[in-house]
Amino acid sequence: MDSYAKLLDGYTTFRSQYLSEENATWRSWAKVGQSPKVMIIACSDSRVNPVIITNAGLGEIFIVNNVANLVPPYKKDDKTYHGTSAAIEYAVTQLKVEHIIVMGHSGCGGIRALMSKDEPAPETEFSFIRPWMEIVSEAADFTAQEEDSMEIDELATVCEHRASLISLKNLVGFPWVHDALLKKEVQVHAWHFDIGSGILQAYNEDSKEFEELI
């Protein structure tokens, strides 16, 4: 089936479910608005959809998708575009979410681009990906020991973990997030989803390791 036709086919199924009595709650939100208690900052990668991974429903998760699930540092700057920062501001100040999760994943193309030392192809006039990935450039600063002892996939996992932790650090640098943390109104988490196994890990502040969630 053509990819566009497949969308319409899926929409037909969705529409019948949407109008069913058991999903009346979904329709009722048209009047009352959304009130998700969780925000997830996830990669745009099509294999790591937070709603599917957590078996959530419509209205439960406020999601930002961007390349490599990055959070830029807090910066007062109205000269450029800050979609992710605007979403974080809205989630914390208006929706008052209780949890914010930065969710990385295995095989992340953005992370691989960061790790690649290759220069952009000459025909590429400008790449938005490289300056965007600069947000977490330190994540790819491997020690000599890491480079000597790890295969490329292992290094990528290390880089994915570190990048999420840098994003988490940037996240708490936003004043509203910082205030909400001090008031214990919000908790922040770093997750990592392994596509091959379906295992979801979370960063444990005590052990300083990513550990299986369940």
| Residues in touch with Zn ion (CB under 5 A) | 43, 45, 68, 108
Could you give the C-alpha distances from 36 to 49, 74, 89, 91, 164, in angstroms and in order?
A: 16, 23, 14, 9, 22
Give the DSSP H or E segment for 100.
strand 99-105
Nearest CB to Zn ion, comparing residues 36 and 110: 110
Phi-psi region of 208 (alpha: psi -120 to 50; beta: other; left: phi over 0): left
Nearest CB to Zn ion, comparing residues 122 and 131: 131
Q: What is the DSSP letter of 73?
A: P
Nearest CB to Zn ion, comparing residues 33 and 131: 131
Beta bridge partners of 65: 42
Nearest CB to Zn ion, comparing residues 41 and 177: 41
> Alpha-carbon distance 100 to 180, whole Å?
11
Distance of closest approach, residue 42 Cβ to Zn ion, in angstroms: 8
Distance of closest approach, residue 105 Cβ to Zn ion, in angstroms: 6
Distance of closest approach, residue 115 Cβ to Zn ion, in angstroms: 13
Nearest CB to Zn ion, comparing residues 45 and 165: 45
Distance of closest approach, residue 194 Cβ to Zn ion, in angstroms: 12
For residue 25, give every residue at least 6 positions away whose Cβ sits within 8 Å of its Cβ, in sequence order, or none. 59
End-to-end CA distance of the chain: 37
Distance of closest approach, residue 180 Cβ to Zn ion, in angstroms: 27
